[in-house]
Amino acid sequence: MRIPFTCVVAAAPDSVTDEQAQALQNAFQSEEVEQWFQEYQGGVIDYVDDITLENSDEIWTEFTEGDA
């Protein structure tokens, strides 16, 4: 059985530069991290890199305004 899981890293807008945020996104969405997820506890967590700096506001709004 797989349970949906999302790892979110957040910071106040004035505490990180765009370059720093992009570097963190690149690291989290690297092949090395994808491989780690595939190996972690036998691959029980699926690696997904759907949320980016470009679409995170829209996704968060949909999530918080949706039926919960």
Say how far apart CA 21 and CA 15 lie, in whole Å: 10
Sequence-separated (6 or more) residues with CB below 8 Å from residue 44: 2
What tens digit of pLDDT does each residue of 6-41 get? 777 888 888 999 899 899 889 888 999 888 877 876
pTM of structure: 0.55
